[in-house]
């Protein structure tokens, strides 16, 4: 039984999220109306034991990072997210910090794009959400590698082919984007830490940052060398969400092509392997 307002709210919100909406198989008999505790833990990147302790009132002071992850996994509205922060005894993030809220509409859009690799990033290029097909295509990123700028300059994805020209355009666009984000959200400590680390560890990033490089994201054709289905040449588009400063990255294949067939095959074997690999 939940013994705190925080625990009761978590249980209520967990019960209303259907497993399929979170990209999880419904499977078998379920006592939970919505997400199981271990499923919420998996989506939020925390332990199931911690979810249990929060719901039972044995843990009452989660960090801001945990609250943010729970709000995202539970698909909370902006007002519900603010309420969750206050239940946890925390001040909601201010206007000078990078927004980390994913609107219910964006969640629903991803639900309807099961056959399309899609990922959502915030204004600092932190990967907030990715559907199973995107993860199957690009690999599962963890920890610091969830940041697309950091990954580009310090640990490039070996699956994506590039040329010096395409790599240079992407790097310039990311640096210009990050500079704009730093000006828009000057109070974000994580963003300041990211920029300082990249300037220290990547001479190329430091050069572009100091030179005031300009660039913008454009539609591109990218070839991904996948270990299971081979090479896929796909269209990559970056879409912006008005009002929330989110970036949605979408990979698509032209219908009737070999790439479309391989992407469909990856939707079967790739997502199956992800489910099997999860505890």
177 band by pLDDT with thresholds 50, 70 and 90? very high
pLDDT over 90 at 206, yes or no: yes
Q: How far is Cα 32 from Cα 37, in angstroms, rounded to an integer?
A: 9
25 band by pLDDT with thresholds 50, 70 and 90? low
The burial of 51, by beta-carbon neighbours within 10 Å (0-12 exposed, 13-18 middle, 19 or more buried), is given as buried
Q: Which residues contact 278 (CB under 8 A, 6 or more apart)?
A: 42
pLDDT over 70 at 275, yes or no: no
Q: What is the pTM of this model?
A: 0.81
Q: How far is Cα 92 from Cα 68, in angstroms, rounded to an integer?
A: 10
Residues 187-197: pLDDT tens digits?
A: 999 999 999 99
Q: What is the DSSP letter of 4?
A: S
What is the pLDDT at residue 24? 62
Q: How far is Cα 65 from Cα 278, in angstroms, rounded to an integer?
A: 22
What is the pLDDT at residue 104? 83
Residues 79-115: pLDDT tens digits?
A: 999 999 999 999 888 888 998 888 888 888 888 888 8
What is the pLDDT at residue 279? 45
Mean pLDDT for the stretch of residues 156-162: 84
Mean pLDDT for the stretch of residues 197-201: 96
Q: How far is Cα 29 from Cα 109, in angstroms, rounded to an integer?
A: 28
Mean pLDDT for the stretch of residues 227-250: 91
CB 2, CB 11: distance < 8 Å: yes
């Amino acid at each position: 039984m939940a013994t705190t307002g925080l625990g009761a709210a978590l249980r209520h919100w967990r019960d209303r999220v259907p497993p399929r909406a979170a990209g999880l198989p419904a499977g078998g008999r379920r006592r939970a109306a919505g997400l199981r505790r271990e499923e919420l833990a998996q989506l939020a990147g925390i332990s199931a034991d911690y979810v249990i302790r929060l719901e039972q009132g044995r843990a009452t002071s989660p960090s801001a990072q945990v609250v943010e992850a729970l709000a995202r996994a539970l698909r909370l509205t902006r007002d519900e997210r603010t309420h969750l922060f206050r239940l946890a005894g925390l001040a909601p993030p201010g206007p000078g910090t990078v927004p980390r809220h994913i609107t219910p509409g964006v969640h629903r859009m991803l639900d309807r794009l099961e056959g399309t690799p899609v990922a959502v990033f915030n204004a600092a290029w932190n990967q907030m959400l990715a559907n199973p097909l995107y993860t199957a295509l690009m690999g599962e990123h963890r920890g610091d590698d969830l940041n697309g700028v950091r990954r580009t300059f310090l640990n490039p994805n070996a699956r994506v082919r590039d040329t010096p020209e395409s790599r240079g355009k992407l790097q310039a666009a990311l640096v210009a984007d990050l500079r704009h984000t730093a000006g828009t959200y000057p109070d974000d400590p994580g963003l300041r830490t990211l920029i300082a680390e990249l300037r220290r560890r990547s001479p190329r990033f430091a050069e572009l940052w100091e030179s005031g490089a300009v660039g913008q994201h454009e539609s591109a054709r990218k070839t991904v060398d996948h270990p299971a289905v081979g090479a896929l040449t796909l269209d990559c588009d970056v879409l912006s969400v008005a009002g929330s400063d989110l970036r949605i990255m979408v990979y698509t294949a032209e219908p009737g092509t070999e790439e479309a067939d391989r992407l469909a095959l990856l939707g079967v074997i790739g997502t199956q392997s992800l489910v099997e690999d999860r505890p």
